[in-house]
Structure 1
Amino acid sequence: MNNVQFASLDDVKKELLIMEGYDVIPTKQWPLYEILAHCAQTIEYSMTGYPQLKPRIVRKTIGRIVIRKFLKQGHMKHDLTAHVPGAAKLEKQGTVKEGIGLLLRVIDAFQAYEGKLAPHLIFGDLSKEEYDRYFTMHVTDHFSEVQFAS
């Protein structure tokens, strides 16, 4: 899926439904299930709270600068092997279909969520629209290493 670009989490959901029918070439970093579960985990933490936050000064300064840059340019690059700090390691490995189902359920839960969103571990307080755009870029960056067999 090199050069994949999603405009919203709705686009991500459409692609996930298409992905179910393709064979996946193993990724360089993580199995596809783990990528899908990691993306679901980060979205879920926006509703339940991240296990660890960077210091407030980081979230109010550097974090705000970085998220503004990402949102302005419409894409991001990050360490594709980095787990969420403080999160339990993803123990369960599953099938691609299970990972797709997990990520779809969490995106649906986020889209339906009406409560107060938790601050992002680095970027601090984000609106629901900012989170949607950030999560879309986060998934896009991870999906950039996913390839499908023709």
Structure 2
Amino acid sequence: MLRIGVATLATLAAPALLSACSPAALAMPAFDSMASALKTLEALKRAAPRMAGAWDLSQVLHHAAQSVEYSLTGFPTPKPAWFRATVGPAAFSVFSARGRMSHALDEPIPGAPAIARGQPLEPAVDRVIAALQAFEAHAGALAPHFAYGALDKPSYARAHLMHLANHWQEAVA
């Protein structure tokens, strides 16, 4: 019984302890700021890499756009409240402290519509750029992240940039 109590206490305390860690600089220069991300994404209209993973570039961009859009409107299927209050914020704190995220790169956002392979690239580029610009212009409340829970705007921007950079690790020139 004591083991369960200690584990529960550690799980509940982890987000607070990890949030005290200073965030590292974002690891990938192409996505180290919103301006860099928008410039990188716009350049895809002239020259696009292929993706080495399970998803093609259009799928990745639509997936990233979904994430940004859902930060404004609400995620379709959030993790349980206990997860968004413990494990999720702890994971975000670790990612932020490292300046990079790691997640399954072929895992859709829970409850999001499937994204078909082989879609045209330019609409995907336009969608993710529009989503990031809408996020930047948004002055209202943000929806809780499906896993990380409540994030303020700078933290959400950081999450979106780390998310893009994580997927970009599969880009092949």
TM-score by length of 2: 0.79
| 1:66-117 deviation per Cα after TM superposition (whole angstroms, max 9, x unaligned) | 1111111110111000000011112485222221111111100010011110
8 Å contact from structure 1 (residues 4, 144) kept in 2: no
Q: In proportion to residue count, which structure has more helix?
A: 2
- The equivalent position to 1:102 in structure 2, one of 108, 127, 133, is 127
- The equivalent position to 1:29 in structure 2, one of 35, 47, 54, is 54
Q: Which is worse superposed, 21-30 or 46-55? A: 21-30
Q: Which runs of 5+ in 2 are unaligned?
A: 1-26
Cα 1:29/1:23, change in 2 over 3 Å = same
The residue number in structure 2 matching 1:74 is 99
Q: CA deviation at 1:20?
A: 1.6
Q: Which is worse superposed, 8-17 or 100-109? A: 8-17
Q: Which is worse superposed, 95-104 or 32-41? A: 95-104
Q: CA deviation at 1:122?
A: 0.6
The residue number in structure 1 matching 2:65 is 40
Q: Which runs of 5+ in 1 are unaligned?
A: none
Of the two, which has the highest radius of gyration? 2
Q: Is the aligned partner of 1:65 residue 2:95? A: no
- The equivalent position to 1:117 in structure 2, one of 114, 124, 142, is 142
SS in 1 for 2:94: helix
Distance between the aligned counterparts of 1:51 and 1:107, measured in 2? 19
Q: CA deviation at 1:24?
A: 3.0
Q: Which is worse superposed, 88-97 or 132-141? A: 88-97
Deviating beyond 6 angstroms after TM superposition, the runs of 4 or more aligned structure 1 residues are none
The residue number in structure 1 matching 2:158 is 133
Q: Is the aligned partner of 1:8 residue 2:8? A: no
Q: Which is worse superposed, 72-81 or 93-102? A: 93-102
The residue number in structure 2 matching 1:56 is 81
8 Å contact from structure 2 (residues 53, 105) kept in 1: no
Amino acid at match of 2:64: C
CA RMSD of aligned residues (A): 1.6
Cα 1:23/1:122, change in 2 over 3 Å = closer
How many residue pairs end up in the alignment?
Answer: 146
Of structures 1 and 2, the one scoring higher in RCO (CA 8 A, sep 6+) is 1
